Amino acid sequence: MVYSDDELLQLFNDGTERGLNGVYEKFCLKVYHYVLRMGIGKDDAMDITTETFIRLFKRKKIFDRLNNILAYLLTTARNAAIDMVHQRMKMGQMKADLHAIRDEDAAAEFSEEVTQETLKAVLDEIDKLPNQCRTIFILAFLRGKSNSEISSQLNIVEKTVRNQKHKARQHLRMTIPLKNWLKNWVLSLVA
């Protein structure tokens, strides 16, 4: 059965099976493709999508609009994808993933040493950001908070948030010694 957005929202907020299934059917592919666009493989993207919906269904939060549900799903999926990438970088598993996504031209230039140094450099440079800049970077790019949310949380003006985000991006662009294709991939996470 096809429900209007208002009916689906009410069914979901009531916790009915039809509401849960309806939200899943409406947003599953959007979340899955969103995660794929982040450079996550198909199997991992499906795992993240599934886990994202499980978190939504366990949350039992009342939403005002269906778009708020989608925003929650995309934020949760993005955070899960970033966490996965971060864990793999720490555990050295990113090497296999990078081998799978690189093209033949990049293969000649690609080496294990460069990869490990580059991934370490990304994490090191994030850690080197000044405290306020690093906090804003994490809230904005890893937790998906808006400028107004960050300014409220940290009791600072939005212009400071924008300036600190720009400062963090510039710092990472200037200090991380990456090959062009890898640099674009890493910077797409913070753009």
3-state DSSP assignment of residue 78:
helix
* Same domain flag for 186 and 123: yes
Only one residue has tokens 């794929």, namely 36
Q: Please say if the pLDDT value at position 186 is more than 70.
A: no
- Report the alpha-carbon distance of residue 23 to residue 112 in Å, rounded: 43
Find, among 128, 131, 121, 176, the residue nearest to 156 by Cα: 131
* pLDDT at residue 137, rounded to an integer: 80
* pLDDT at residue 179, rounded to an integer: 46
pLDDT cut 70: percent of the chain above it:
72
Give a yes or no: residue 101 inside a domain: no
* Same domain flag for 84 and 120: no
* Mean pLDDT value of segment 161-184: 71
Give a yes or no: residue 98 inside a domain: no
Q: Which domain holds residue 55?
A: 5-88
Q: Please say if the pLDDT value at position 94 is more than 90.
A: no
pLDDT range class, residue 96, cuts 50, 70, 90: low
- Report the alpha-carbon distance of residue 42 to residue 118 in Å, rounded: 24
Q: Please say if the pLDDT value at position 95 is more than 70.
A: no
Give a yes or no: residue 84 inside a domain: yes
Each residue of 105-123: pLDDT tens digit? 454 454 555 556 666 666 6
* Same domain flag for 78 and 112: no
Residue finishing a domain among 27, 59, 88: 88
Give a yes or no: residue 79 inside a domain: yes
* pLDDT at residue 93, rounded to an integer: 54
Count up the domains in the chain and report the number.
2
Give a yes or no: residue 39 inside a domain: yes
Q: Could you give the angle at which helices 94-101 and 112-128 cross, rounded to 10 degrees?
A: 120
* pLDDT at residue 126, rounded to an integer: 76
> In whole angstroms, what separates CA 47 from the centre of its chain?
14
Give a yes or no: residue 94 inside a domain: no
pLDDT range class, residue 177, cuts 50, 70, 90: low
Each residue of 133-160: pLDDT tens digit? 888 887 787 778 889 988 888 889 999 9
Find, among 2, 62, 69, 5, the residue nearest to 31 by Cα: 69
CATH number of the domain within which 39 lies? 1.10.1740
DSSP string, 114-165: HHHHHHHHHHHHHHHS-HHHHHHHIIIIIS---HHHHHHHHT--HHHHHHHH
Average pLDDT, the chain: 78
Each residue of 42-64: pLDDT tens digit? 899 999 999 998 898 888 778 88
* Same domain flag for 66 and 128: no
* Same domain flag for 9 and 40: yes
Residue finishing a domain among 59, 88, 117: 88
For residues 84 and 97, the answer to whether their CB atoms sit within 8 Å is no
- Report the alpha-carbon distance of residue 151 to residue 59 in Å, rounded: 26
Find, among 88, 75, 93, 89, the residue nearest to 35 by Cα: 75
